[in-house]
């Protein structure tokens, strides 16, 4: 006879087992007291990041103008992210054109808030947000990443396991809740990544979805869609760029993030089912944001773009979908797609991005192709940021 099982107990049991195993996995990767650390970069990588020749970098060292860096076998130099930042600041001081090495905000430039959305899982949303935030940080921008997804994948990538590290709160929910909100600075965490801070996520974020209908009914407090923007105003002067990873559904959190945004990035996996679901998503987004706009929400954006993710160039149907999107949306589709790559997915297994993993872990062509595709996408986005600042 078939046993009946209570699904709530079963799922809870599975969650507990999985959480325990994930904690073991983390302990093996990073011992209990260890923090994640950023790898060192080769001289060639640093020259490419700074936009200078390797020979020029070598000359700076010979002339004693560059910071002391780690030397390994064969006299090779290895740079920490802090070393790269110090080089940027030193080179910027002598640059003919302001912003050559420090491309962030200047007087009169507004804070850029990029909201990354899609309500279908598997579209590469978190991967896109994480690589964008990290590349911008490497490029000298001061970046705040916000994990608005209760599933907290962006947080996990940056070394936070929510059910262990955020037992007493510490998410954006604490800052935007309707009763006793805390200053945003209270929930910002420094990461191991120079120039990149993080507001982690966990299941507490769901409380905002539950509390907002009651607040609307009671007409208490400020309107829900202004709450994220109001909080960002508190720390506006400290960052050049905010990247928000939204949950994969269009709830109050996502709408509030969209209201705070100056730019929107929609990730799209180029499969027919994904594009069909995106159609419904766009219709729903339009309807709901229309209501927010009528209630006084700001819907003026600097730009909106679709980014094709997990793209396989040899896949005929995918190429058809990409051509279909380009013919419909034109310049609103980024020119460069993010390639589907074992390098990106393998890096994720150890909770790392492609910018963090050691190149030597992959065959050179696999790593280089994936890295080139990510750099090209992020380079296009950087161009849009600079354009929004009138450069």
Split the chain (391 residues) into runs of 10 and give each run's mean pLDDT.
Answer: 57 65 65 68 91 90 85 85 92 89 93 88 85 96 95 88 72 92 94 93 90 79 80 95 92 89 89 76 77 75 89 89 86 92 84 87 89 95 95 84
Pick among 3.30.930.10, 2.140.10.10, 3.40.50.300, 3.40.640.10: CATH of 112-389: 3.40.50.300
Nearest of 376, 252, 261, 268 to residue 324 by alpha carbon: 268
What's the pLDDT at 259?
87
Pick among 1.10.1660.10, 3.40.50.620, 2.60.40.10, 3.40.50.720: CATH of 41-94: 1.10.1660.10
What's the pLDDT at 71?
86
What's the pLDDT at 34?
54
What's the pLDDT at 39?
87
What's the pLDDT at 22?
65
Q: How many CB atoms lie within 10 A of CB 324?
A: 13
What's the pLDDT at 221?
56
Residues of the chain with CATH 3.40.50.300: 112-389
Residues of the chain with CATH 1.10.1660.10: 41-94
What's the pLDDT at 276?
74
What's the pLDDT at 335?
95
What's the pLDDT at 387?
94
What's the pLDDT at 273?
77
């Amino acid at each position: 006879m078939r046993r009946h099982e209570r699904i709530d107990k079963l799922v809870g049991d599975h969650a507990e087992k999985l959480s325990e195993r994930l904690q073991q996995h983390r302990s093996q990767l990073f011992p209990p007291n260890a923090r994640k650390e950023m790898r060192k970069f080769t001289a060639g990588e640093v020259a490419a990041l700074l936009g200078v020749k390797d020979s020029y970098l070598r000359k700076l060292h010979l002339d004693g103008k560059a910071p002391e860096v780690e030397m390994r076998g064969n006299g090779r130099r290895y740079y920490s992210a802090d070393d790269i930042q110090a080089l940027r600041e030193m080179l910027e001081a002598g640059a003919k054109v302001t912003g050559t090495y420090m491309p962030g905000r200047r007087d009169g430039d507004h804070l850029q808030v990029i909201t990354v959305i899609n309500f279908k899982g598997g579209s590469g949303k978190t991967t896109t947000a994480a690589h964008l935030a990290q590349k911008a940080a490497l490029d000298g921008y001061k970046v705040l990443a916000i994990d608005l997804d209760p599933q907290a994948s962006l947080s996990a990538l940056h070394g936070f396991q929510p059910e262990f590290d955020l037992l007493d709160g510490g998410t954006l929910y604490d800052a935007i809740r309707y009763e006793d909100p805390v200053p945003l600075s209270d929930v910002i965490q420094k990461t191991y990544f120079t120039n990149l801070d993080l507001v982690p996520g966990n299941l507490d974020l769901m409380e905002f979805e539950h509390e907002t209908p009651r607040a609307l009914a009671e007409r208490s407090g400020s309107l829900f869609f202004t709450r994220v923007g109001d909080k960002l105003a508190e720390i506006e002067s400290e960052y050049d760029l905010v990247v928000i990873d939204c949950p994969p559904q269009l709830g109050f959190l996502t709408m509030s993030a969209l209201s705070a945004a100056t730019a929107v990035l929609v990730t799209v996996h180029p499969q027919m089912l994904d594009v069909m679901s995106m159609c419904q998503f766009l219709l729903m987004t339009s309807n709901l944001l229309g209501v927010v706009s009528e209630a006084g929400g700001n819907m003026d954006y600097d730009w909106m773009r679709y980014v094709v993710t997990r793209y396989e160039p040899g896949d005929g149907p995918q190429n058809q979908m990409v051509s279909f999107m380009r013919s419909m949306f034109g310049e609103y589709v980024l020119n460069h797609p993010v390639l589907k790559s074992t390098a990106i997915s393998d890096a994720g297994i150890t909770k790392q991005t492609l910018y963090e993993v050691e190149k030597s872990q992959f065959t050179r062509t696999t790593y280089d192709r994936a890295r080139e595709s990510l750099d090209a996408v992020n380079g296009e986005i950087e161009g849009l940021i600079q354009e929004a600042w009138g450069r």
